Amino acid sequence: MLIKRKYFLKLTGALSAGMLAGTSTGSNFLTSIMQDEDSKKIKKFGLQLWTMRDELPKDPKGILKQIASFGYSNIESFEGQQGMFWGMKNTEFKKYISDLGLTMHSSHYGNDKDFEKKVADAAEIGMKYLILAWEGPGKTIDDYKRYAEDFNKKGELCKKNGLRFAFHNHDFTFKKLEGQYAQDVLLNNTEASLVDFEMDIYWVVTAGQDPEAWFKKYPNRFRLCHVKDRIKESTEDNASCTLGTGSLNFPKILKTAKENGMHYYIVEQERYDGTTPLNAIKDDAEYLKKFRF
C-alpha cells in the first residue's frame, strides 16, 4: 500500500515518540491510516461493453476474459445483435463471468420489445439495473413529461422484480428546450423510489454543464456514472480519450458524486487515437487503480 506524505509524517512522528512500540495505540493508528487511505479509492469499477463494441461480437468469451484480467470487477452490458448476454443464456453468461471474477450489475437496453422478458432475465441472475440507453431527443417539454411517465411505469415493473430502472443521458437533455432543461423535467417528473439516473459525465460537460452542480442539485438520484474523459481543447462531440489524458477533473467530480449518492463507476471510451480499444481499457483500468478522491 502506498502511503501519502502526510500519513508518512504522522507515522514517523509516532515512531519517534515511541507510540508504536508494541502498543495497541500504535496498532490502532496504523489501522486508521489504512482505513483513511482505503476510503479514498474506488474499490470496484466497471466497464461499459460498448467500449469493445467492434471486438466483442467476434469473441465474447475471449474479450470478457481480457477485461477481467485488467482489474475490472464488473461490467455493464448493452443490447447488441447477440443480445445483452452475447449469444449465451442469461444463467450461462452469469456463470461464465462469475468464474472470471466479474459481476454484471447493469445493462443498457435499446428498445421496448420484449421488455418484460428483459426484466425477468435480468432479475433471474441478480442484476441491479436495466438502463434505457437512449430516449429522444424530444421536440417539446411535453415529450419529456411523457418519457418520465413511461419511466415510472418501467420503474414500477423493475421494482416488482427486484431491479431498478435508470436512464442514461446524452448531451441533449442538458440543453435548454422551451426555456427548461429536459433533464430537470425528467428528474422532477419521475418517482425517486422507481427511477434512478446514470450520468454520462462526458456528455454533461460536452453540453456545457457542470456535473458537480447536478449531483448537488439532485442528491441520490444519480446512482451510476460513466467515467469518460474528453480530449483537451477539443470542440468535437466525439472526443473521448483515455482516462487521465483529457480535460476532466475526475478527482474533484467523482468526490462530489460520491458525496451525493453515487454507487457505480463505469468506464466508457468511444475513441482510441493512437491506441487500440484493448490497450485503452487496460490504461483506463490502471488509472482507476491509482485513483484517489
What would the mean pLDDT of 196-206 be, rounded to a whole number?
98
What would the mean pLDDT of 9-29 be, rounded to a whole number?
54
| Residue 253 CB contacts under 8 Å (≥ 6 apart), including other chains | 201, 211, 212
pLDDT at 29: 57
The three-state secondary structure class of 180 is strand
pLDDT at 3: 46
Whole-prediction pTM: 0.88
- What residues pair up with 241 in beta bridges, in sequence order? 229
pLDDT at 1: 45
Residue 155 has pLDDT above 50, yes or no: yes
To 5 degrees, how large is the angle CA 64–CA 65–CA 69?
115
pLDDT at 136: 83
Mean model confidence pLDDT for the chain? 91
Q: What is the pLDDT of residues 119-143, one digit of tens each?
A: 999 999 999 999 999 998 999 999 9
Contact 293, 255 (CB under 8 A): yes
Q: What is the pLDDT of residues 76-113, one digit of tens each?
A: 999 988 999 999 999 999 999 999 999 999 999 988 99
| Residue 61 CB contacts under 8 Å (≥ 6 apart), including other chains | 96
Residue 230 has pLDDT above 90, yes or no: yes
pLDDT at 227: 98
The class (CATH top level) of 42-290 is: alpha beta
Residue 34 has pLDDT above 60, yes or no: no
Contact 224, 199 (CB under 8 A): yes
The H or E element containing residue 120 is helix 115-124
| Residue 166 CB contacts under 8 Å (≥ 6 apart), including other chains | 106, 129, 130, 131, 132, 195, 196, 197, 198, 223, 224
Strands 195-200 and 164-168 turn out to be: parallel
Exposed, middle or buried by CB within 10 Å (0-12, 13-18, 19+), for 171?
middle
> Which residue did the predictor score with more confidence, 184 or 41?
184
Residue 271 has pLDDT above 70, yes or no: yes
CA distance 100 to 89: 17
CA distance 108 to 167: 9
> Which three cell numbers, joined as nine digits, stand for 279?
490497450
Strands 222-227 and 264-267 turn out to be: parallel
pLDDT at 110: 87
| Residue 24 CB contacts under 8 Å (≥ 6 apart), including other chains | none
